[in-house]
Amino acid sequence: MRPPWCGRRTRGIPLGLFTLWVATARCLQSQGVSLHIPQPAINATVQDDILLSVDYSCHGVPTIEWKYTSIWGVQKIVEWKAGTPANVSQSHRDRVCTFDNGSIQLFSVGVRDSGYYVITVTEHPGSSQSGTIVLHVSEILYEDLHFVAVFFTLLAAVAVVLISLMWVCNQCAYKFQRRRRYELKESTTEEIEMKDIEC
């Protein structure tokens, strides 16, 4: 005996078409962009080279964009697609290097580079992912102290040289005065002797 549903036409969506639709929807969902930031906060000192490390995954070729936000405003740093040359802003030209995984490296950072660095990875309109790295750049204290120490050492050396010169000049002046007195005394003694002889 045949099953009661066999040979009948099903109403609505056929089961095979429904299964294909569900599989396609799941596949499209899995094609979104995922972004991983291993170090969301970085502390650095002046003149350091900093790697803003990220890693993304997607099925297409995404557009990667980095922006910098600070108390001075928002500015675009760089934008590129994997495998194409990067479009670097004028403010960061010769100061940034891009990598295929979306990371960038900043060379010789300064205090003004402190702020929020936002990466946006866009695969196609409606499929994008953003992340933020906070960078804090501080001055190198020991270099300032080193400069002050060198400056004071130089001042002390100059002071020692000047004091030595003053001492030498004082000794020369003292010897000159003694000699002058001796010469005056000699001449006075000779004059007295001459007067005694004449008398």
pLDDT of residue 198: 62
Q: Are 60 and 79 contained in the same domain?
A: yes
Domain count, the chain: 2
Which has more confidence, 126 or 110? 110
pLDDT of residue 26: 46
Local structure of residue 136 (DSSP, 8 states): E
Q: Are 62 and 122 contained in the same domain?
A: yes
Q: Does 113 have pLDDT greater than 90?
A: yes
Q: Does 25 have pLDDT greater than 50?
A: no
Residue 25 within a domain: no
Report how far apart, in Å, the C-alpha atoms of 62 and of each of 39, 96, 182 are: 22, 20, 99
Q: Are 133 and 148 contained in the same domain?
A: no
Residue 134 within a domain: yes
pLDDT digits (tens, 9 = 90+) for 84-94: 899 999 989 89
Neighbours of 133 (CB within 10 A): 22
Sheet containing 96-98: order of strands: 50-52, 104-106, 96-98
Which residue type occupies 40? P
Q: Which two tokens stand for residue 21?
A: 């639709």
| Cβ within 8 Å of residue 65, ≥6 positions away | 76, 78, 79, 119, 120, 122
Q: Does 4 have pLDDT greater than 60?
A: no
Domain extent, residue 188, equals: 141-192
CA 17 vs. chain centroid, Å, equals: 57
Q: Which among 139, 157, 176 is the end of a domain?
A: 139
Which has more confidence, 44 or 175? 44
Residue 15 within a domain: no
- 196 three-class SS: helix
Give CA–CA dist 135/115, Å, rounded: 5
Q: Does 53 have pLDDT greater than 70?
A: yes
pLDDT grade for 78, boundaries at 50, 70 and 90: very high
Mean pLDDT, range 164-179, rounded to an integer: 87
- The CATH number linked to 37 is 2.60.40.10
Residue 23 within a domain: no
Local structure of residue 60 (DSSP, 8 states): S
Q: Does 144 have pLDDT greater than 70?
A: no
Q: Does 161 have pLDDT greater than 70?
A: yes
Which has more confidence, 144 or 85? 85
Q: Are 83 and 145 contained in the same domain?
A: no
pLDDT > 70 in the chain, percent: 76
Q: Are 122 and 63 contained in the same domain?
A: yes
Residue 70 within a domain: yes
Which residue type occupies 83? G
Q: Does 16 have pLDDT greater than 60?
A: no
Q: Are 153 and 67 contained in the same domain?
A: no
Mean pLDDT, range 137-156, rounded to an integer: 78
Mean pLDDT of the chain: 81
Nearest to 48 by CA among 93, 4, 134, 111: 111
Q: Are 164 and 129 contained in the same domain?
A: no
The alpha-helical segments, DSSP class H, found in the chain are 15-30, 141-198
